[in-house]
Amino acid sequence: MPDIFGVPAAVLLGQVLLGLINGSFYAMLSLGLAIIFGMLNVINFAHGAFYMLGAFVTWLCLTQLGLNYWAALVVVPIVVGVFGAVVERLFLRRLYRIDHLYSLLFTFGLALAMEGLFRYLFGAAGKPYPVPETLTGVFRLGFMVLPVYRAWVILASVLVCLLVWLVMEKTRLGAWLRAATENPSLVTAFGINVPLMLTLTYGFCVGLAGFAGVLAAPIYQVSPAMGSSLIVIVFAVVVIGGLGSIGGAILTGLSLGVIEGLTKVFYPSASAIVIFVVMVLVLILRPAGLFGREN
């Protein structure tokens, strides 16, 4: 295969694929953050913690209950989502009417507490989780060897993101949600139970973070810190994309993953900070974000 900018194309394509995996997680999490922000006006700092919770519950399902990966893929998002809905109902709901900073601080505290609890219970070290048997093995693509599981992660997360996007943009439910983002009291006057919708939305988006956690368990080590290190990057993704658009959140997430992957090829030591550098550039050139609308 030919070289591109002095780098073998195989290496380049390989990193793009690896970048897409990270990008899948950015996309799933920033998608949820964007919807939660749009509907509830809450910056959900605990989003990373719910992702971590998802991975941990997956691990616990296997080690304590003997529930396998596929069962976890169904059960865990529901468990995490229900937990999130309870949090919204009991706490966040009381904070909507005051400064948004307080709900951010509340979820910040929640993230700290959850991370602290899991570190206390299970220690800081990462726990390995086996790749499910049906997804072991590799695809030989010629330019690289792609583990089947990683291909599955990209496929599953892109499908889920597309599904959420379709529901939001093309269905009646999505129209209600978008309308409630703009003018909740009018939507209520039309006979729609907006408070319930907010609880379900929060639960769903948090469940989506839990789903991402299940997908992550066999790739990354399951550890208490896995959520917080991801959420800060996702925040940068959200600032880059702007909080206005769901499709924008998905695209920004995926493409930043790829940019990160490419940086690993050309300038490896910058790969950890490239997303933040992009954020700074975007803030200077287009402060509302790539897909954002300033309000």
Closest to other proteins by CB, 62 vs 279, is 279
When binding is defined by CB under 8 A, the residue of 5, 140, 172, 285 that contacts other proteins is 172
Q: Which two tokens stand for residue 261?
A: 């992957």
Residue with tokens 């208490």: 224
**Distance of closest approach, residue 215 Cβ to other proteins, in angstroms:** 23
When binding is defined by CB under 8 A, the residue of 20, 21, 111, 160 that contacts other proteins is 111
Other beta carbons within 10 angstroms of residue 144's beta carbon come to: 17
**Distance of closest approach, residue 60 Cβ to other proteins, in angstroms:** 18
Considering only residues 33 to 62 of the shown chain, the ones binding other proteins according to CB under 8 A are: 43
| Alpha carbon distance 63, 69 (integer Å) | 11
The three-state secondary structure class of 87 is helix
**Distance of closest approach, residue 77 Cβ to other proteins, in angstroms:** 23
Q: Determine if 124 is a binding residue for other proteins (CB under 8 A).
A: no
Considering only residues 219 to 258 of the shown chain, the ones binding other proteins according to CB under 8 A are: 228, 232-233, 235-236, 238-239
**Distance of closest approach, residue 235 Cβ to other proteins, in angstroms:** 4
Element spanning 105, H or E: helix 100-122
Closest to other proteins by CB, 18 vs 187, is 187
| Alpha carbon distance 266, 183 (integer Å) | 47
Q: Determine if 125 is a binding residue for other proteins (CB under 8 A).
A: no
Closest to other proteins by CB, 38 vs 218, is 38
Q: How many residues bind other proteins (CB under 8 A)?
A: 59
**Distance of closest approach, residue 41 Cβ to other proteins, in angstroms:** 9
Q: Is the Cβ–Cβ distance between 8 and 144 less than 8 Å?
A: no
Going by the DSSP 8-state scheme, the letter that residue 3 receives in this structure is E
Q: Phi-psi category of 245—alpha, beta or left, where left has phi over 0 and alpha has psi -120 to 50?
A: beta
Q: Determine if 137 is a binding residue for other proteins (CB under 8 A).
A: no
Q: Determine if 287 is a binding residue for other proteins (CB under 8 A).
A: yes
Closest to other proteins by CB, 21 vs 275, is 275
Other beta carbons within 10 angstroms of residue 163's beta carbon come to: 10
Q: Is the Cβ–Cβ distance between 157 and 25 less than 8 Å?
A: yes
**Distance of closest approach, residue 139 Cβ to other proteins, in angstroms:** 32
Q: Secondary structure of 14-65 in the HEC alphabet?
A: HHHHHHHHHHHHHHHHHHHHHHHHHHHCCCCCCHHHHHHHHHHHHHHHHHHH
| Alpha carbon distance 216, 229 (integer Å) | 14
The residues binding other proteins (CB under 8 A) are 43, 91, 94-95, 98-102, 104-106, 108-117, 119-120, 172, 175-176, 178-179, 181-183, 185-194, 228, 232-233, 235-236, 238-239, 269, 272-273, 276-277, 279-280, 283-284, 287
